[in-house]
Amino acid sequence: MRDEDRKPSKRVFPLLQNLDLDSVTFAQLQCTGDPITLEDMNVQELEDLLLCQFARLAVKSEWTGLLESGGGTFNAVLPQSVGTATRYQPAMATPFGVSGVSTNQTFTDFDDPRAYPFVAPESGDVSEIGILIDTATTSADALVGIYSTSSAGKPDALLGFADIEFGSTGEVYQTSITGTITLEAGVNYFFVVGADAAPSGGQLKGIENEGAFGVGYSVTSYQTCYKHEESTTALPDPFVATHTRQTARVLVSLKVS
């Protein structure tokens, strides 16, 4: 088509005219193109829609919608909350959690924060974080944070965290969240467990180590988490993964609103 014959689409640009390339989402482009039939009379609309998508990708460096069918992202439909089941248990959720057999985990190990991967089953903000304390200690509080995932598949930026007192046993839930933790369904995140001081004693529940994430140092190693080597009294931001460890996946629960 000659430039002088080109006529801007009467559908695509009017529907997107109040958006810029940095903020427009794939879902908005998808809605704009639904429905556009694959007919010769709609060539201009299809070209304009594709132009907007490629321009958007050039700005956002994100290929959602073009590479998913080829296996570029994890796109399984994960189980979602229903009825009275209001809390998600990322330590036991697919694809990383494969065991429901609990074990005690020494709190002193979390003087160096440990990071465990999970895939968000639902989009929304985290409104509560819970842990199960088996043996109490007043030496430190548990810090449980949610992190984004880097392009290398490692924990990256701290999205938010909960400070949970370790002074009593049983299930402890914290609704006071520092920061806004916004999850997107089907996206990989990490939950990180650390402490606000050097723990002395204390145990929390985890699950047995069958749920390794496929990174290790030998044929038989079953690593379950990344470790941040430096002892700290706050969750690191960003998280720097220095080692892998066999530390049991801590039983953490999340509420998403």
| pLDDT tens readout for residues 210-244 | 667 788 888 888 888 999 988 789 999 999 999 99
Proportion of the chain above pLDDT 90, given as a percent: 47
The pLDDT of residue 100 is: 67
* pTM, two decimal places: 0.71
Q: Rounded mean pLDDT of 54-60?
A: 71
Between residues 53 and 171, the one the model is more confident about: 171
CA distance 92 to 113: 20
pLDDT at position 251 is 93
pLDDT of residue 73 exceeding 60: no
Sign (positive or negative) of CA dihedral 235, 182, 81, 150:
negative
- Render pLDDT for 34-55 as a digit per residue (tens, 0 to 9): 767 666 566 777 777 777 777 7
172 close to 131: Cβ distance less than 8 angstroms: yes
